[in-house]
Chains A and B, each alone.
Chain A
Amino acid sequence: MKTYDAIVIGSGMAGGWAAKELTERGLETLVLEAGRPISPEKDYVEHVPMWEMKFRGMGDRKRLAQTQPIQQQCYACDEMASKFFVNDLENPYTTPDGKPFSWIRGRQVGGRSIMWGRQVYRWSDLDFEANAREGIAVDWPIRYADIAPWYDHVEKFIGITGQAEGLPQLPDGQFLKPMALNCVEQMVRDAVGKAWPGERMVTIGRCAVLTEAHNGRAACHYCGPCHRGCITRSYFSSVNATLPAAAATGKLTLRPFSVVQSITYDRKTGRATGVRVIDGQTKHALEFKSRIVFLCASTIESARILLLSGIANSSGQVGKNLMDHVMGGGANGRIDGPVDKDTIGNRPNGIYVPRFRNIGKGKSPFLRGYGFQGGGGRSDWGRGMEQAGFGAAFKASLRKPGPWGFSLYGFGEMLPNEANTVELDKEKKDAWGIPVARISCAYGENEKALVHDMSISAAEMLAEAGAHDIQPYTSDNPPGLVIHEMGTARMGKDPKTSVLNAHNQSWDVPNLFITDGACMASTACQNPSITYMALTARAAAYAVDAMKRNEL
């Protein structure tokens, strides 16, 4: 049997980066992907107009309720893009009664990098030091200085649009030119900056969409529904960028339909020897050998695979401390923006309000903080449903854009908690006969306090900007729905209390690296993908150097 230099499990955000970095550093690499192959020419559907969709974008409600009851909770699982989400019947998981968890998944080449939200924010030492400062969970074994060059490395390749602001809590990156704020967003930015100087601010979102041609990929053409694919490769996904780069080295073997059952392990050497797979189509068992393994299957899948393999768990921490972000506090309002102005094009990005709670002076009655995403715009014909009238005058009124509105929606940090776990279900199996994950996870008091505060501070900012009809709100979402799962195989400084060291290397199995969200020791409040990507690239460089030194 051929022995690859490396096997990467998963081809999404992290797996794509592992594939690129390992192949570019000379390793013969096999990427195992559970789902089907994706061909942009055949599979991308972002330019299908509404009138060619049977339900005009509202989705095949009956089919969704039958086969994707969980996946359809995600806005992106729509009439065209639901094919990028798993079939819930084939991919079940269990939760205890009264503890729902919404696990949103993509099983195909590219994983969830095809439908991700594309927002990218660096972490700072405010985040890396938080656990140590507050005595919560375990300290991160790295600081901003360790990861900063890898953020640079990743951002230069994928292309990030954003505005440099010089904030200590949200370091600037390698930005392409920023997207523009529209009329009312500028109004709100000015008002917030004036009312809370040096504290709160509104900036344009930082996102992995190209505003100029970059590394052979075209600039955005502002069609809008990024989650359906992008034929010009203008947003980053592993299908659009990292996997083609890996393939270009001639050292990549990509095997779709490879449902990983376990990582094989040699007790004598204490090393991983390869990966056991069930073929997704034939359901035959297969085995592949390699010198190192990168586990990038996503937070919950990676924990499941480790538990199925029975390795890397001398700390007992595998599957513990499952986290997500918390969302759902915010406010909407109307703004008296200019009646003679509107926007053209669908900007695939919004505004961002960087975290302002518990930084510097002033303490809040909760730990950590949150950021806001959102934006302003004019309402469209949809307002007609809430409006009295019909006939020619009614039609004429809907031809014009409606009033300007503004929305702020909070995303907050979730604290690690050992009671939030991923285990193997003792009875249930998936369509490939593999025991499924049992997920037990709930938000705590701190997360609830964050959501409450989001609604108040959002309403304050809208009021300061002169908005009227302000509607603050909180909502009670199950964890999972932010789709930022983290934890379950955390990095740390001590093998007794963590699964991975400072290089995402298993303390117990030195030729095993885990670089997806599983490695995170805390969540910060920023969207996490860029940090997974940077940690993956960093771990790959470390692994290849260690192989050269014959350490693995």
Chain B
Amino acid sequence: MNRREVLLLLAGTAALPDELLAMGRTVHKRIRAGALRALTPQQNETVATIAELIIPKTDTPGAREAGVPAFIDVMLADWANDEQRQMFTAGLANVDERSRTAFEKNFAGCTPQQQTQILEDLDYELARLRDTKSDTSKNFFSAMKWLTLTGYYTSEVGSTSELHYRVVPGRYEPCYTIEQP
């Protein structure tokens, strides 16, 4: 179906939003997970482990499957400034330090229970900063959570299977009844 045909259909009767998906866009290369650019394989594994703990696989895929670690590597390599990148990698080192102190192992080698315990500490410390209206911009876990949520919910998997996002909704419903509020 070409654009003219779609326009004729739309101008006529019922909308065909799915046909529109193919238009109004330039063709983009699918972003593939390539070689790591900002993180070492060990750092990447720590990032992937934390991300999966924040957004785990449940009845829908989790952060790993949604490609969150690769997104974080891209953001650190090409979006973050030097200071932010250093803050982030120092934060990863600190996570390992904490796990060695508590469990005598690097974070990636800990059990899921031990890892969860470390994340609970990090999350508690971040919540304290927030509650006292302190600066969170230099907090590793704040950055990690932001990158994980963004990476997950804007991924194809997160957008479509978790949120049922559609590029072209085709209609506006102002007061739609949710089945399970």
Contact = CB atoms under 8 A, between A and B. Distances in A.
A69 to B, nearest CB: 15
A340 B180 CA distance: 8
A396 interface: yes
Contacts of B171: 221-222, 344-345
Interface in B1-46: 3, 6-7, 10-12, 15, 17, 20-26, 28, 30-31
A341 B178 contact: yes
Given A386-B130, A400-B181, A48 B25 contact: yes
Interface of A (DSSP majority class): loop
B98 interface: no
A49 B167 contact: yes
Given A61-B79, A221-B20, A56 B181 contact: no
A398 B159 CA distance: 12
Contact size range, B = 35 or more
B104 interface: no
Nearest to B80: A61
Given A340-B177, A390-B53, A52 B30 contact: yes
Interface string B146-172: 100111011110010011000111111
Contacts of A180: 172, 174
Interface in A222-238: 222-223, 228-233
B123 A390 contact: yes
A343 B176 contact: yes
Contacts of A60: 78-79
Nearest to A234: B10
B75 A55 contact: yes
B175 A343 contact: yes
Contact of B11 (A217, A220, A231, A396): A217
A182 B142 CA distance: 33
7 contacts: A41-B3, A52-B25, A221-B168, A223-B24, A341-B176, A386-B130, A388-B130
Interface of A: 41-58, 60-62, 179-183, 185, 213, 216-223, 228-233, 338-347, 380-382, 384-386, 388-392, 394-396, 398-401
Given A54-B78, A388-B127, A394-B55, 11 more contacts: A48-B28, A49-B167, A54-B31, A55-B78, A213-B10, A223-B24, A230-B24, A231-B3, A342-B176, A381-B163, A398-B149
